[in-house]
Amino acid sequence: MSMYDCIIIGGGPAGLGASLTLGRARRKIALFDDGTNRNRVTHESHGFITRDGIKPHEFKGIGLSELKNYPNVSYFNKTIIEVRREKEEGNFIVKTRDNNEYVSEKLLLATGIQEVFPIESIRKFYGKSLFSCPYCDGWELRDKPLLILAEKEEHILHMVKLIYNWSNDLLVLTNGNDLSQEGMRELAKHNIEIKNDRIEELVGEEGYLKEVRLASGEIINRTLGFVAPTYYRPNYFAEKLGCEIDEKGRVMTDPRCRTTQKNVYVAGESRKPIPSSLMIAAADGNKAAVSINTDLTEERF
């Protein structure tokens, strides 16, 4: 088995950014990614200066192409199924689905997060006509009649207040959940309509919404909108390695991305788990890489 200075799990902006920084620091790196990054479903990514509007697969392709300049960085398009330590505070052994194993001194978790939708069929339209982040997609939907699909009052009020900046033609669907009188009054002040009926079906083709059918029989003719998912880490590597997790599901770290387990680092959306922009995730990957390189330097000098 090859020995690496650091194995990075996750090839999103955090993992790519960390790989580039560590590669330039002459560290021997293995980057693993299986193509399940959550922005893969959208047509364009926005808000990353010099790359505004880039397609996610192009962004990733550019990052991987840049890593080819550093022969000390290896990229593996493989799924990790197990991470363990040789002994307490020892090296890490990473096992892939094809039963190959790789060993490293340091480990960076940058696997990101995944969405859970209040209605599973939302996934068919996610990234094409239904979105979750107005900073990413609000400009393209400005001044258009929009749906807001959310079930919890706190999510509804947050989304409405935020999206109202891009469009004030909003219709809230709560999928059978009631708002408090205070919440109703707050939305009524801005002439925002609320429908509490359960959603029967989302209708459309090839990712583009045509209408929403309610259990009451009413048909909503809106084709664009925002949803309020919840999020989770798609694996339990941090937990299995003994990293401390707080009551909100956040991996506890110091300001430099070090977890409570020696030589385990976490970067990007994996840390919180809440969504972040490409730029923030990439910056977090850079910060983690600097910590890893600093620790290697101090330990080996």
Q: Read off the pLDDT of residues 190-202 as tens digits, 9 standing for 90 and up.
A: 999 999 999 999 9
The reported pLDDT for the residue numbered 89 is: 80
**pLDDT band at residue 298 using 50, 70 and 90 as cut-offs:** very high
Q: Which CATH class is domain 116-227?
A: alpha beta
Looking at domain 3-113+233-300, its CATH architecture is: 3-Layer(bba) Sandwich (3.50)
Mean pLDDT, residues 216-239 taken together:
94
Give the pLDDT band of residue 40 (cuts 50, 70, 90): confident
Same fold, 3-113+233-300 and 116-227: yes
pLDDT at 60: 95
Identify the pLDDT of residue 274.
86
The rounded distance, in Å, linking the Cα atoms of 145 and 222 is 7
As a 3-state breakdown, the chain gives helix, strand, coil percent values, each rounded to 5, of 30, 30, 45
pLDDT at 1 over 80: no
CA distance 83 to 62: 28
Read off the pTM. Answer: 0.94
Measured CA to CA in angstroms, residue 12 lies from 88, 106, 144, 261 at distances of 29, 19, 31, 23
Domain boundaries, the chain: 3-113+233-300, 116-227
